[in-house]
Amino acid sequence: MDPEWNDAELLQHVFDETTVLRKPLRGIISGYHVLPYILVGADHDAPARSVEVRGRIKVSPRLVIAPGRDGPTYGELFGEQELMDHRIVARVFSFKYAGRVTLESDDLKIRRQDRDAGSHVERVLEELSRREIIDTGVIVSPDARFYPVSLDRFIREILDQEFRE
């Protein structure tokens, strides 16, 4: 990526280049749902290696009416700032459904892998298939430092099915 890009272009690039390989096969439960995921992205500091982020996103109806459009920051939502690029830690989570749902991140686990992202994704898909796990999404991010942006893409794809307008 060109270092001359501004943040908005960079984040849009990450969003556009994110691939959701697998969506949970279990249906969305109106009102509340847990979306387990495994995200794999290239390790920025060692391109021949990858980073795996596993977690769950809890999606529930918004119960508290907050004034204005203030939302949580990426750092507040994911509670992690070691891997996350410093340019997005303080950004407000720009989520399309913010007025309708509340999101929480849970059970976040970040592991660095010795193999490249493509090889690791194949291993993750094989693991899920072997264990017959059907409720976990698999996401490929172009840069693991921006995993919240890639998760935003995943969440939008899932909730677009629920909140078709």
Q: What is the DSSP letter of 67?
A: S
For the chain, how are helix, strand and coil distributed in percent, rounded to 5? 30, 30, 40
Q: What is the DSSP letter of 64?
A: S
Q: How far apart are CA 159 and CA 165, in angstroms?
A: 11
23: pLDDT strictly greater than 70: yes
- The pLDDT of residue 64 is 40
Average pLDDT on 56-60 reads 78
Phi-psi region of 68 (alpha: psi -120 to 50; beta: other; left: phi over 0): left
What residue spans define the domains of the chain? 7-162
69: pLDDT strictly greater than 70: no
Average pLDDT on 83-96 reads 69
User: In the numeric block, which tokens belong to residue 49?
Assistant: 């290696």
Element (H, E) at 148: helix 147-162
